[in-house]
Amino acid sequence: MKKVQVIDSHTGGEPTRVVIGGGPDLGGGSAADKLKVFRERHDDFRRAVVNEPRGSDVLVGALLVEPADMSCVTGVIYFDNVTFLGMCGHGTIGLVVTLAHLGRIHPGEHRIETPVGVVTVVLHADGSVSLTNIPAYRKAKGATIDVPGLGKITGDVAWGGNWFFLVEQHGLALDLANVEKLTDASWRMRQAANAQGFPEVDHIVLLGRSRREETLTQIRNQSEPPHVGSYPVKMVSQNFVLCPGKAYDRSPCGTGTSARLACLAADGRLAEGEALVQESIVGTHFIGSFRWLDRAAGKIIPNITGMAHVTAEATLFLDEHDPFCWGIKQ
Ligand code: PYC
């Protein structure tokens, strides 16, 4: 019987399961090198940790690995019910809170090695976390795809640690009661985007006006807005994000918010030193801002602030006699 030690948390409603012991030996090298070994030789371990019957479609896993860059507090590889993720914003915020829960880090700045690069995080004294992500940029502005059942849909293709197709004009109500329709429409868009020139797109973001305009008012009214320094909140919007395995993100999606920031920056709709409040479909929010890395190339460094809470410490049993020892395959 194999035993795997995990700590569960949620970030704005989106769960993360951090594997702190009992993971596979992925050899040496960087987190990117280790991801290759994980993907090629240990996909069964990914399924065992996050798929049913131990997990669910919405759960994101995070395997702690030894970093190659010794200035990092840890390396990490993220995965979900169907695949591996280059980066994960909500997962990183959950990981930071988990490391603090374990007493491995304290408030202050820390570096974390991911397969797509090193990210910097700040654990604030109140438990909130700010993440300085890897560079984000827009690859295509206003790409129009033909979506069966929906017609022509126009969106931007952008990178924020994963690949996103971001749509503002979709005619759908961003409401929890509408999740089935939103999922169906987003899945069609994903397939159409993949078939019509954007095979890399693995997440869909539907954007809309936040129904919680009071969030903006509340934040503006605080004399010291939380961890946005002196940044005035310029914009509040809501999103619905569909992940690669067809589950929707309960959080506002850290990498999706990074991709969105890149689009807003490129269009001049948000400036350096201004903040975006990105609300999720369940009503939680991240605060996003950016600085230019290379204005001519449209590359930004996104910064995302959010909250996570530890929900469980557990030991998973991987018993070869159990027919679903390695999770239910999708
Ligand atoms: O927060 O970046 C994120 C994310 C990706 C998939 C689910 N959450």
Name the residue of 251, 261, 284, 287 whose CB sits within 8 Å of the most ligand 1 atoms, as the mutation to test its pocket: 251
Give the Å distances, CA to CA, from 88 to 14, 102, 112. 11, 20, 12
Judge contact between 34 and 75, C-beta under 8 A: yes
Indicate the residue type of 9.
S
For 212-249, how does the pLDDT look when each residue is reduced to its tens digit (9 = 90+)?
666 666 665 665 444 455 688 888 899 999 999 999 99
Q: Per the confidence metrics, is the pTM higher than 0.85?
A: yes
Peptide bond into 148 cis (omega under 30): no
**CA–CA dist 264, 93 (Å, integer):** 23
Predicted pLDDT of residue 210: 82
Active site residue 243: no
**Ligand 1: distance of its center to the CA of 91 in Å?**
7
Neighbours of 271 (CB within 10 A): 13
Active site residue 325: no
Got the DSSP string for 34-98?
HHHHHHHH-HHHHHHHHSTTTS-TT-EEEEEE--SSTTSSEEEEEE-SSSEES--HHHHHHHHHH
Sign for the CA dihedral angle at 113, 119, 124, 129 comes to: negative
Judge contact between 98 and 7, C-beta under 8 A: yes
Name the residue of 60, 186, 201, 205 whose CB sits within 8 Å of the most ligand 1 atoms, as the mutation to test its pocket: 60
For 242-253, how does the pLDDT look when each residue is reduced to its tens digit (9 = 90+)?
999 999 999 999
- Measured from the Cα of 60, ligand 1's closest atom is 7
Task: Average the pLDDT over 310-318 and give the result.
Answer: 98
Percentage of the residues of the chain whose pLDDT score is greater than 90: 91
Query: What's phi and psi for 263, nearest 5 deg?
Result: -70, -45
Give the Å distances, CA to CA, from 165 to 75, 209, 244. 28, 18, 12
Q: Are strands 84-85 and 108-114 parallel, antiparallel or unpaired?
A: unpaired
**CA–CA dist 242, 43 (Å, integer):** 22
220: left (phi over 0), alpha (psi -120 to 50) or beta: alpha
* Residue 80 structure tokens: 């979900």
Predicted pLDDT of residue 330: 87
Name the residue of 76, 77, 85, 261 whose CB sits within 8 Å of the most ligand 1 atoms, as the mutation to test its pocket: 85
Judge contact between 155 and 143, C-beta under 8 A: yes
**CA–CA dist 278, 259 (Å, integer):** 12
pLDDT at 211 over 80: no
- Measured from the Cα of 11, ligand 1's closest atom is 1
* Residue 111 structure tokens: 């570096």
For 3-44, how does the pLDDT look when each residue is reduced to its tens digit (9 = 90+)?
999 999 999 999 999 999 999 999 999 999 999 999 999 999
Please pick, among 72, 88, 243, 263, the residue that the annotation labels catalytic: 88
Closest by CA position to 286, among listed 12, 7, 1 = 12
Closest by CA position to 60, among listed 43, 81, 76 = 81
Q: Which residues line ligand 1 (CB under 6 A)?
A: 14, 60, 85, 88-90, 162, 243, 249, 251, 253-255
For 147-177, how does the pLDDT look when each residue is reduced to its tens digit (9 = 90+)?
999 999 999 999 999 999 999 999 999 999 9
**CA–CA dist 249, 10 (Å, integer):** 11
**Terminal-residue alpha carbon distance, the chain:** 24
Least confident piece of the model among 82-86, 159-163, 198-202, 209-213: 209-213
Tally of CA atoms within 13 A in the half-sphere of 212 that contains its CB: 18
